[in-house]
Amino acid sequence: MNTIVLRTASNYLLPLLLLFSIFILLRGHNLPGGGFIGGLIAAIAFVLHAFANGLNRTKKLIKVHPGFIMPFGLAVSFLSALVPLLSNAPFMTGIWASDPIPVIGHIGSTLFFDLGIYITVLGVTLTIIFTISEAA
């Protein structure tokens, strides 16, 4: 889709959509949202970019192969699930920092678990879409 409107717009939409996906990720603890849907929205941002500018440009933008993002996300989730074991709590227990961090707020191991899901979903979705559009 080689239109100048979309191409120009996609340059602005990419950071906006990514910001929105992070917003959705963070709000997911108590409200609808979370890592899965956040990751999908982030993937949409890159897919839109690929539609407007061509797949090669987007690949250059991401730099690493999206397949490599998957194990990274899994590892983040896995490690955050292991953290409670250090303080003698069962696997996957939510461990929370005692004091809230300014601006960001309360941080706990569940946030990193969700972050891992976000990264994994982003990686999986991009891998699938890139592979299909390469084959087409």
Partner 1 sequence: MNDIILFPIINQLFFAIVTLFLWRYSRWQKAISVVGNLIGFVIAIVFLLTVWDEGILTYNAGNWAAPLGITFVGDMLAATLILLTSICGMAVSMYSAGSMDRDRLSFGYYPIFHFLLLGLNGAFLTGDVFNLYVWFEMIIISSFVMITLGGEKRQLEGAIKYFTLNVFASVIFLTAIAVLYGLTGSLNMADLSLKVAQIENKGLVEITGLLFLIGFGIKAAVFPMYFWLPASYHTPPAAISAIFGGLLTKLGVYALVRTFTLIFFDIEFLNTVILVLGGLTLFSGALGALIQNNITKMFSYLIICHIGYMIIGLGLHTELAIAGVVFYLVHDIIVKSNVFMISGLIYKLKGTYSMRDLGGMYAKHPLLSLIMAISFFSLVGIPPLSGFWPKIAFISESLKTKGGGWLIAAILFGTFMTLYIIARMWAQVFWKARPEVKIRESFLYFKDHRLLHKIEMIVPIVGLTIITLMIGFGAEKVQQLALVVSDQLINKQHYINAVLGK
Q: Which residues bind partner 1 (CB under 8 A)?
A: 67-68, 70-72, 74-75, 78, 82, 84-85, 89-94
Nearer to partner 1, 54 or 94 (CB): 94
Residue appearing with tokens 């982030």: 42
Would you say 22 or 62 has its CB closer to partner 1? 62
Burial class (CB in 10 A: 0-12, 13-18, 19+), 113: buried
Least distance in Å: CB of 9 to partner 1?
A: 35
Least distance in angstroms from the C-beta of 71 to partner 1 = 4
C-beta of 72: minimal distance to partner 1 in Å? 8
Which residue lies nearer to partner 1 by CB, 51 or 127? 127
Say whether 123 sits in a helix, a strand or coil. helix
> Taking the complex as a whole, how short is the minimal distance between the CB of residue 94 and partner 1, in angstroms?
7
User: Would you call 41 helix, strand, or coil by DSSP?
Assistant: helix
Instruction: Choose between 49 and 116: whose C-beta lies nearer to partner 1.
Output: 116
Token pair in block for residue 51: 């539609």
Residue 10 burial (CB count, 10 A):
21
Going from the C-alpha of 45 to that of each of 15, 48, 50, 98, 117, the distances in angstroms are 8, 5, 9, 35, 17
118 close to 63: Cβ distance less than 8 angstroms: no
